[in-house]
Amino acid sequence: MDVVGELFRAYSTLLAGVATSALLALSIWVTLYAGQLTLGNAAFMGVGAYVAALLTLRAQWPFQAALLAGTLAAAAIAFPLGATVFRLRGVYLAIATLAFGEMVRVAILAIPMTGRGQGLNGIPPKAELWHVWLSLVVVGYALARVRTSTVGRAWAAIREDEIAAGAQGIAVRRYKLAAFVLGAAIAGWAGALDAHLNFSIDPGLYGFARAVQILVFTVVGGVPNVLGPIFGAGLLTALPELLRPLKDLRDVFQGLILLLVIVYLPRGLVTLAELRRTRRLARIGQADVA
Amino acid sequence: MEGNVFTVALVGILIPIVAIVGGLIIAGLSMHQRARLRELAYRERIAMIEKGLMPPPETDPQAFESAAFRRETAPVDSFSMYRAVKFRTAGLILMGIGFGLMVLITFAGDQPGAGIGVGGAIALLGFAFNSIFPQMGTQLELRAFTVMVVGGMGSIPGAVIGAYVLGLGEVTALTVSSELRDAFVFGLLFATLVLRPHGLLGTRSVERV
């Protein structure tokens, strides 16, 4: 018996969870990088999961086709939604996308085909661990390349100042919509994979709590680059396991860690190296003003 | 039944206290830190100007809300000073007003108010339904959001009107179908944001460069 293989099998659920969380965190990173706070990713994940699961479960579609269909369904819903909702900014945009997420949940509860509150059970377990990790690597690499491309720089310009970006000739609405649809597609993909990993889904999985959780992954990890959301998701998914010895105090400690990161590293864990620069700025500032 | 009422009343007092203390600590910590970082950024800009250098263009979105700023140019009492913090950080620092401290003081005044309000509302709810549980706030969270948006952010009469619109509408929707209830809440929220983003009584914010 090899110990490594044993360990791997024992923790395969956790490993898969880390990768899907990281994919979801990357999906919200796209819009955050463009400076837009949207909270619809949990709903897009749900759309992807339900479409893919219904296709494999009821229509006996092959797994690959169902995955693709789930992803496209999420993107297809995101397109008209983004076109309507991107007239809004800031908190209003966040609330509107949140309302959309809740509407998706209510719709799933109301349509009989989705199994309503009981959800879907016995989804064929077609997804494997390497599928999720491969997706994460591919999506992470692709986004890292996009970040440094023309598109990525346009997103950064929109984030820093929308009006100035528009004046520079960047099609602000179009780039925002592109970020939104891309994020929705990634979330849909992650949802479809997740449904085929866990065999069972229900509407409660894709509600407000999940939306906030995805946002927290990315905010804790940091938006400046692609590694941030992956670190954040990995840390926050694995943390409950690492803190297991603390027993009942586990949630308290997890909350405390979150709080400290957000207060002292407001731009995320990946900006740890910049802390010293902030201190230096503090000294310069005091010397010059006093 | 005596004991039950007593317990609920006790919890009704305990919740505001916990909310006040916890809110103070968390808000104080985070606001002070954020204010400090922002103050640093402005100090750096001021230092650059004093050295005769051109600071990079301002990227703080709140600095662009100058339509609102024009109404707030004369900080006289502490509250308008607080609003001045929001609109003109650099000016405030130049006038010698401690930015971080100001924000901290405002939050110290703010959080107990919210704590008492929320605690009181929860205690009343506990009396009304004869039960309390840790998650009882979550169903109300999004409804409170909706009320605020429908009424118009920053408008107190708007909040009251929004609450009536939402509550009566929700009950009406409930007579048709139980699933329509949630659908109504979020449909209303979404429709308001798309059709009338400033709400019923809120003021339309004008964007200026």
pLDDT of residue A72: 96
In 3D space, the residue among A221, A176, A161, A211 whose CA is nearest the CA of residue A31 turns out to be: A176
Predicted local confidence at residue A14, as pLDDT? 87
Q: Do A92 and B197 touch (CB under 8 A)?
A: yes
Q: What is the pLDDT of residue A242?
A: 80
Q: Are A234 and A218 in contact (CB under 8 A)?
A: no
Q: Give the A window 222-281 contacts with B, CB below 8 Å.
A: 259, 262-264, 266, 278, 281
Dihedrals phi, psi of A120, to nearest 5 degrees: -105, 135
In this structure, which long-range contacts are made by residues A64-67, counting pairs with CB atoms below 8 Å and at least 24 apart in sequence? A66/A192, A67/A189, A67/A192, A67/A193, A67/A196
List, for chain B, all residue ranges whose pLDDT scores fall below the cut of 70.
Answer: 1-12, 15-16, 19-20, 22-24, 26-39, 55-139, 204-209
Angstrom distance (rounded) from CA A118 to CA A114? 9
Measure CA B11 to chain center: 25
Contacts of B202 (CB under 8 A, 6+ apart): B151, B152, B153, B154, B155, B158
Residue B147, both tokens: 């009320």
Residue B110, Cβ density class (10 Å: 0-12 exposed, 13-18 middle, ≥19 buried): middle
Closest partner residue to B40 (CB to CB) among A106, A161, A278 is A278
Instruction: Identify the helix (H) or strand (E) that includes residue A258.
Output: helix A250-264
Q: Where do we find the tokens 């997804």?
A: A127
Q: What distance in Å separates the CA atoms of residue A91 and residue A114, rounded to the nearest whole number?
A: 32
3-class SS of residue A201 = strand
Helix axes B138-151, B179-195, angle to 10 degrees: 40
Residues of B in contact with A161 (CB under 8 A): 57, 59
pLDDT of residue B76: 42
The answer to whether A75 touches A68, Cβ cutoff 8 Å, is: no
Q: Do B40 and A84 touch (CB under 8 A)?
A: no
* C-alpha to C-alpha distance for A273 and A287, rounded to whole angstroms: 23
> Degrees (nearest 5) of the Cα angle A269, A22, A208?
95
The residue type found at B132 is I
For chain B, give the mean pLDDT: 67
Q: Do A95 and B43 touch (CB under 8 A)?
A: no
DSSP state of A126: -
- Return d(Cα A76, Cα A139) in angstroms, integer: 19
Give the C-alpha separation, B111 to B108, whole Å.
Answer: 6
Do the Cβ atoms of B46 and B94 come closer than 8 Å? yes
Q: Rounded CA gap, A290 and B46, in Å?
A: 12
Distance CA A37, CA A280 (A): 31
Contact B174, B180 (CB under 8 A): yes
Minimal Cα–Cα distance from A269 to chain B, Å?
Answer: 16
pLDDT for residue A7? 77
pLDDT in tens, chain A (290 residues): 577 788 777 788 888 999 999 999 999 999 999 999 999 999 999 999 999 999 998 888 999 999 999 999 999 999 999 998 988 888 888 888 988 998 898 888 888 888 887 888 888 888 888 899 999 999 999 999 999 999 999 999 999 888 899 998 999 999 999 999 999 999 999 999 999 998 889 988 898 888 988 998 998 888 888 999 999 999 888 888 888 787 777 778 777 887 888 777 777 888 777 766 666 666 665 554 43
Q: Which two tokens stand for residue A10?
A: 């024992």
pLDDT at A244: 79
Strand partners, A120: A201
Interchain CB distance below 8 Å, B179 and A110: yes
**Shortest CA distance to A193 belongs to which of A56, A60, A34?**
A56
Q: What is the pTM for the complete model shown?
A: 0.74
